[in-house]
Amino acid sequence: MTNNLDTSKKNHRIYIICGIIMPILFTLLIIIESLLRPGYSQIHTEISYLGIGPYSIIQNTNFIISGFLSIAFAIGLGFSISAHTKQKVKNIIELLLIIFGVGVTFAGISLILVSVFTTDYFFYMIHLLATFVAFFTIIIAQILIWWALRRTKTTIWGYYPKFSLLTGLISIVMLIIFLYTITSSYQGLTERLFVAIPLIWIEVTGLKLYSNNQMKVVG
């Protein structure tokens, strides 16, 4: 029985670590491929452009791996908040983050198909839809986690619920700004600012969950 419990805690930590790794890996691979493309602009060119053309395998693989890491992280987060919120709410939050991960994965797969069927815009539209659904759901998850944890009596979460609400609201503002500037020459910059907020949220959430988990182990 003890061995099963220890194995469960170990797997739980692995899921959380997936969330810590994901934003770092996603950002790092974008930077690497950007450097491999002379003339590529972080300010003027959108991230998805890296998924088409030379070295596109890097970004498309980045999307797919990041999607799987996000799905694993969703499971770890659901396990972590299960004792602090209602089962139904926990399930919704976990489902939203799984949808985010699936959306990010499909964003990469669809760009691979765009490269194969170069005259067909169908798969590019799939990419746009998958990306929109992914980031829309993670924004909802950010705000819903604040709502779920806002009245927890335990001090283990600290200011995290408010942080989750703040990043959710900032994400909405950045989404509006990005949509407003999507046809401008600064769409690359506004897109990166928008994407950065959920990535920061995932990173901080992963570190917070890992810290809470370590405290439980020590205790």
Domain limits for position 97:
2-218
| Domain tally, the chain | 1
Q: What is the pLDDT along the chain (219 residues), one digit of tens a residue?
A: 445 545 556 678 899 999 999 999 999 999 999 999 988 999 999 999 999 988 999 999 999 999 999 999 999 999 888 877 888 999 999 999 999 999 999 999 999 998 888 766 888 899 999 999 999 999 999 999 999 998 876 678 889 999 999 999 999 999 999 999 999 999 999 999 999 999 999 999 999 999 887 655 433
Against a cut of 0.85, is the pTM above it? yes
Per-residue pLDDT at 124: 87
How many Å apart are CA 16 and CA 75, to the nearest integer? 8
Q: Which of these, 140, 8, 136, lies nearest to 75 by C-alpha position?
A: 8
Helix (H) or strand (E) holding 94: helix 87-116
